[in-house]
């Protein structure tokens, strides 16, 4: 552990007993109270559903200041990293420092060499219905990598861990593009190693054998930026899932599949799909007041998708960059007058001046504009969360590596507040009333 024990202590009084707990300080961010000995000392657990006040691990990868709207990867602000390329961000997240030119070249080549998947994976796809959601296909096929690459699953061996990590960063986009091609009934397109990471992904998704694919650099740059913005986000639900799965010593490919499953939910990665659907349902600027009224109604379950965040109580810094990217892509594609963009901009304006949203500190998050952008690039809504998974893979694998490297990491095993039946005796079925 590198966190420093503070001079401060936290004192808990339980009944007539007072116990001191150490307070630990990180480099930046709130202090934490180390309650790991709480149960041993008091026989009580803490209760924090949804972990709103719980730090689950020590990490050096990503820092978020939700009140200020700050996101740092390894100390670098996201706005600055967005000037570079995605593989540079991958190297940074995985290795801890930005690469020099030679390291960057070597890393790019190593990722590139792993982009193909075992040819038998193609047959695996044929077991799915054509209308399967591509996230369902991703959960299965990424998990299945464990069955194909058994030479990189000894998690105690740092070299095997690195090979598994490179394979994941390189092959998840290939599987994502295959999932897309499968649903549209087109032949799979092999990776092309002369292209950049984002270009290769666009090529695998949109090229067809009967004609030359013309790369659009504006779209490739936008996609690369979208990948950077989604690459990591500290201990969010899917990352915590990956760490939790990994804490039992599980296979790394299976851990990433678990992360993908968690990401799928509409409160997490599925929000961009839900946000676009919401904009389409609103349809026209004139319907916004009625929609906002429904969102604010205490008895309704409708939420303004793409708004609000567990950690950001200010404008999500990724949302600002995503808004810029959205305008660039729409302009390039001649969709400047897209009615959904008009609805989104007006909705944002109204929500940001409405007391309901202001008092709850609800601001646009990264997903508010990402759906419109991805749609303009040419992706169907069902692929949005898949793209998020492609980008987040490096974050998951970096966090998993960080945990496994730690000599004394523990299996993730929260406790509970039990409110079920107390102990009672079994009654045979014939004797029950």
Chain contacts with ligand CMC (rule: CB under 6 A): 233, 236, 267-269, 271, 295, 303-310, 360, 362, 365-367
Give 47 or 418: the residue with its C-beta nearer to ligand CMC: 47
Dist. CA 19–CA 11, nearest whole Å? 6
Contact 303, 351 (CB under 8 A): no
11 bridge partner residues: 20
| Closest distance of CB 15 from ligand CMC, Å | 31
Dist. CA 364–CA 315, nearest whole Å? 6
| Closest distance of CB 295 from ligand CMC, Å | 5
Dist. CA 272–CA 163, nearest whole Å? 31
- Residue 14 has phi, psi (to 5 degrees) of -125, 110
Give 108 or 273: the residue with its C-beta nearer to ligand CMC: 273
Q: Pull the structure tokens for residue 316.
A: 């999500």
Catalytic residues: 309, 367
- Residues with Cβ within 8 Å of residue 30, at least 6 apart in sequence: none
Backbone Cα Rg of the chain = 23
Give 44 or 267: the residue with its C-beta nearer to ligand CMC: 267
| Closest distance of CB 285 from ligand CMC, Å | 19
212-to-192, 209, 215 alpha-carbon distances in Å: 13, 8, 9
Instruction: Mark residue 185 as left, alpha or beta (left: phi above 0; alpha: psi -120 to 50; beta: remaining).
Output: left
| Closest distance of CB 109 from ligand CMC, Å | 32
Give 200 or 399: the residue with its C-beta nearer to ligand CMC: 399
| Closest distance of CB 343 from ligand CMC, Å | 16
Contact 91, 99 (CB under 8 A): yes
Closest listed residue to residue 152, CA positions, set 143, 139, 161? 161
Dist. CA 213–CA 226, nearest whole Å? 21
| Closest distance of CB 410 from ligand CMC, Å | 26
Closest listed residue to residue 373, CA positions, set 339, 341, 334? 341
Instruction: Mark residue 428 as left, alpha or beta (left: phi above 0; alpha: psi -120 to 50; beta: remaining).
Output: beta
Give 199 or 367: the residue with its C-beta nearer to ligand CMC: 367
Give 298 or 428: the residue with its C-beta nearer to ligand CMC: 298
């Amino acid at each position: 552990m590198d966190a420093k024990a503070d001079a401060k202590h936290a004192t808990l009084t339980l009944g007539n007993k007072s116990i001191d707990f150490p307070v630990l300080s990180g480099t930046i961010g709130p202090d934490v109270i180390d309650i790991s000995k709480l149960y041993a000392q008091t026989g009580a657990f803490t209760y924090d559903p949804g972990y709103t006040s719980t730090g689950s691990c020590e990490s050096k990868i990503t820092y978020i200041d939700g009140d200020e709207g700050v996101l740092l990867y390894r100390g670098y602000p996201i706005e600055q990293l967005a000037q570079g390329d995605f593989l540079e961000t991958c190297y940074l997240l995985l290795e801890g420092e930005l690469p020099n030119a030679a390291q960057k070249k070597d890393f790019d080549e190593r990722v590139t060499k792993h982009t193909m998947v075992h040819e038998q994976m193609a047959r695996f796809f044929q077991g799915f219905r054509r209308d399967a959601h591509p996230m369902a296909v991703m959960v299965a096929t990424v998990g299945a990598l464990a069955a194909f690459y058994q030479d990189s699953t000894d998690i105690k061996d740092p070299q095997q861990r690195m090979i598994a990590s490179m394979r994941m960063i390189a092959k998840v986009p290939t599987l994502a593009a295959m999932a897309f091609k499968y649903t549209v009934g087109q032949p799979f397109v092999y990776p092309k190693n002369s292209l950049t990471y984002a270009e290769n992904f666009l090529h695998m998704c949109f090229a067809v054998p009967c004609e030359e694919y013309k790369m659009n650099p504006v779209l490739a740059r936008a996609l690369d930026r979208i990948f950077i913005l989604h690459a990591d986000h500290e201990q969010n639900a899917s990352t915590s899932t990956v760490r939790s799965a990994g804490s039992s010593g599980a296979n790394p490919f299976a851990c990433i599949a678990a992360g993908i499953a968690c990401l799928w939910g509409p409160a997490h990665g599925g929000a961009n799909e839900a946000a676009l659907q919401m904009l389409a349902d609103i349809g026209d600027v004139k319907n916004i007041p009625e929609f906002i009224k429904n969102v604010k109604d205490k008895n309704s379950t409708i939420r303004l998708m793409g708004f609000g965040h567990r950690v950001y109580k200010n404008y999500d810094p990724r949302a600002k960059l995503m808004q810029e990217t959205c305008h660039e892509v729409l302009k390039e594609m001649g969709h400047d007058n897209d009615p959904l963009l008009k609805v989104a901009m007006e909705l944002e304006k109204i929500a940001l001046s409405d007391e309901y949203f202001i008092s709850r500190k609800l601001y646009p998050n990264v997903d508010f504009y990402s759906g419109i952008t991805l749609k303009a690039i040419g992706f169907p809504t069902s692929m949005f969360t898949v793209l998020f998974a492609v980008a987040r893979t490096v974050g998951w694998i970096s966090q998993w590596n960080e945990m496994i490297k730690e000599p004394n990491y523990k299996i993730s095993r929260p406790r509970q507040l039990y409110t079920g039946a107390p102990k009672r005796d079994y009654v045979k079925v014939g004797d029950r009333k």
